[in-house]
Amino acid sequence: MLTTTSTRALDPSDLDEALAVLDREPVNNAFVAARVHTAGLDPWRLGGEMWGWYREGRLESLCYAGANLVPLCAGPEAVVAFAARARRQGRRSSSLVGPAGPTAALWSLLEPHWGPAREVRPHQPLMVTSRQTEEVVPDPYVRRVRKDELEDVLPACVAMFTEEIGISPLEGGDGGLIYQARVAELVGTGRAFARFEDGSVVFKAEIGAVTPKVCQIQGVWVSPERRGEGLSETGMAAVLRYALTEVAPLASLYVNDYNTAARASYRRVGFEESGAFMSVLF
């Protein structure tokens, strides 16, 4: 007997089904789940389409198609279907990112049509914790960034992004307005943290994606002239304390596999590796 499968763009009426799929892997899906919890499935509010893959009429897999293309809870058949839809649409995303297995499979199907990529990061350890370690004392000078300090923290955010991604977020067609608006949103919602010395940022990080089950820490950065002093560990311990006591019961992050120093620091703070992401940058 043939199994009936189908793929289509979801609409707001599909929200409950989509959330049920996202809840199956709350850590892997945190980035997209946070957007869906906030914006629903309306493409204009969500910033892209959500594609659904169905087996026998039941929604089983998702793929977010916006600035990023992100396969979610996607097995081999769903990946093939998402790749076909992405090829027909043409590349509109600046990256592929998501759990390493389905993202690698998706990229293998899209690379002949969308390649070459500017950079491929095939293994980015995903780290998670629900506890605050006693090994590292939180930095008492790391605090929430105030709204009137946006202009002070923005250069550090730009420096981190440029160092991590390889291009400045201010070089886009909008001159960086979308990026600056995102930083302002994180500051305004109390999810941007920094240590200031003489008006300059020496450590900063943000709590980016937030769902009822998990939050994702991002943008960890230490001023180059202050690296090697342990600020990343004590600073992360401080941010983690905020995350676990005020935001969500689980905190996660993902990191480049070659950044052994950061991985060791995060382990000392309390994080453990629980999987891997993959990123393809255009």
Is pLDDT of 176 > 90?
A: no
93 and 15 within one domain:
yes
Domain contains 213: yes
Q: How far apart are the C-alpha atoms of 24 and 6, rounded to whole Å?
A: 20
Domain contains 104: yes
88 and 155 within one domain:
no
Tokens 């994180």 appear where?
Answer: 186
Q: Are 45 and 39 in contact (CB under 8 A)?
A: yes
Q: How far apart are the C-alpha atoms of 35 and 55, rounded to whole Å?
A: 25
Domain contains 78: yes
Among 85, 83, 70, smallest CA distance to 32 is for 70
Burial label for 63, CB within 10 Å (0-12, 13-18, 19+), is: buried
Among 202, 209, 211, 249, smallest CA distance to 230 is for 202
Count the neighbouring beta carbons within 10 Å of the beta carbon of residue 125: 21
Domain contains 136: no
Residue 1 — pLDDT band, cuts 50, 70, 90? low
Q: What pLDDT does residue 264 have? A: 93
Q: What is the mean pLDDT of residues 156-164?
A: 94
Last residue within a domain, chosen from 70, 98, 116: 116
Domain span including residue 162 = 143-275
Q: What pLDDT does residue 173 have? A: 73
Helix count and strand count (H, E) for the chain: 9, 12
147 and 89 within one domain:
no
Residue 183 — pLDDT band, cuts 50, 70, 90? very high
Tokens 């950061």 appear where?
Answer: 262
Domain contains 132: no
Burial label for 44, CB within 10 Å (0-12, 13-18, 19+), is: exposed
Residue 189: CA count within 13 A, CB half-sphere = 14
Chain segment 253-264, per-residue pLDDT in tens: 999 999 998 999
User: For residue 163, how far is the Cα from the chain centroid?
Assistant: 16
For residue 204, give both structure tokens: 């900063």
Chain segment 99-111, per-residue pLDDT in tens: 999 999 999 999 9
149 and 93 within one domain:
no
Q: Are 71 and 63 in contact (CB under 8 A)?
A: yes
Domain contains 130: no
Query: What are the residues whose beta carbons fall under 8 Å from the beta carbon of 33, sequence distance 6 or more?
Result: 19, 22, 23, 26, 209, 211
Q: Are 55 and 74 in contact (CB under 8 A)?
A: no
Angle at 91 between CA 85 and CA 97, to 5 degrees: 85
If one counts the domains in the chain, the total is 2
Give the domain CATH number at 11: 3.40.630
Q: How far is CA 123 from CA 18, 135, 275, in A?
A: 27, 27, 9
Chain segment 195-243, per-residue pLDDT in tens: 999 989 999 999 999 999 999 999 999 999 999 999 999 999 999 999 9
Q: How far apart are the C-alpha atoms of 19 and 15, rounded to whole Å?
A: 6
Q: Are 109 and 81 in contact (CB under 8 A)?
A: no
147 and 261 within one domain:
yes
Chain segment 18-42, per-residue pLDDT in tens: 999 999 999 999 999 999 999 999 9
Is pLDDT of 60 > 60?
A: yes
- The beta strand positions in the chain, using DSSP E, are 5-9, 49-55, 58-65, 68-72, 95-99, 119-129, 143-144, 192-197, 200-210, 215-222, 251-254, 272-281
